[in-house]
Amino acid sequence: MIAQLFSLFFPRLCAVCGKSLIFCEKLLCLGCLSDLPRSGFWAREENPVTTLFDDWKEVAITHACAYLCYTKESAYHPLLHRLKYKGEPQIGQELGRWFGSELIQSTIYQNIDIIVPVPLHPKKERKRGYNQSFVIAEGIAEVTGWCVESGALKRIRHTATQTLLNREERQKNITGAFALAAPERIQEKHILLIDDVLTTGATLQACAAELCKASGCKIYIATIAYIE
């Protein structure tokens, strides 16, 4: 009763079309949920994201995928913007849960042991209040049972925003930004490295290069969005 009264005064709205949500809907209305641009990449040995990491040729990535695949103009893109810049970590958790329920059914991802979110610099995390990759990882962990290992990798250098940089500039900008902090926690493990959006892959490549310094680990990459 209280919840119904509350929703009368503060209606929960679909994050894509703005319609009022009914009680069973979370974040999106059923229409926008069924139109979600899911990529299906997690079930394909080869996909545009694996191709992107193959091109880097520096670190061997076992598999890579993204949950959503869309263009910048997509009505779904503002979701990621709100997660990152508008203080709405619950968006990351929900997307993580949806993504996790796909990953757990993929034969390619059956051997994952731990999830490592791309770390933010502590200063940036304090300012934002949370790490968006960590909340996505939490959502995935909730439905898959995989553990989140957020202490293995550290961001040791604050980097300028990558948004306006090209591929070479991004790689230069990110070099030396991460350090492996606890190799004993990830040795011999199958690691799922998580980030929110994939553009050039420079950040994830730099993280994977550090994780690979621990012996015997295999790296898988998963991001929420891949922008075509």
Which neighbouring-strand residues pair with 197? Answer: 225
**Distance of closest approach, residue 79 Cβ to Zn ion, in angstroms:** 11
Least distance CB 72 / Zn ion (angstroms): 20
Say whether residue 13 binds Zn ion (CB under 5 A). Answer: no
Nearest to 59, CA basis, from 212, 215, 214: 212
Q: What contacts 66, CB < 8 A, 6 or more positions away?
A: 39, 41, 49, 198, 222, 223, 224, 225, 226
> What's the min distance (Å) between Cβ of 13 and Zn ion?
8
32 contributes a contact to Zn ion by CB under 5 A: yes
Report the residue number, 17 or 179, with the smaller CB distance to Zn ion. Answer: 17
Cα–Cα distance for residue pair 223/135, rounded to 1 Å? 12
Question: Under 8 Å CB-to-CB from 102, ≥6 apart: which residues?
Answer: 38, 42, 67
Phi, psi of 25 (to 5 degrees): -90, 140
104 binds Zn ion (CB under 5 A): no
Least Å distance, CB 101 to Zn ion, is 20
Among 7, 12, 13, 14, binds Zn ion (CB under 5 A): 14
Q: Which listed residue (17, 75, 179, 182) binds Zn ion by CB under 5 A?
A: 17
29 is a site residue for Zn ion (CB under 5 A): yes
Give the residues lining the site for Zn ion (CB under 5 A).
14, 16-17, 29, 32
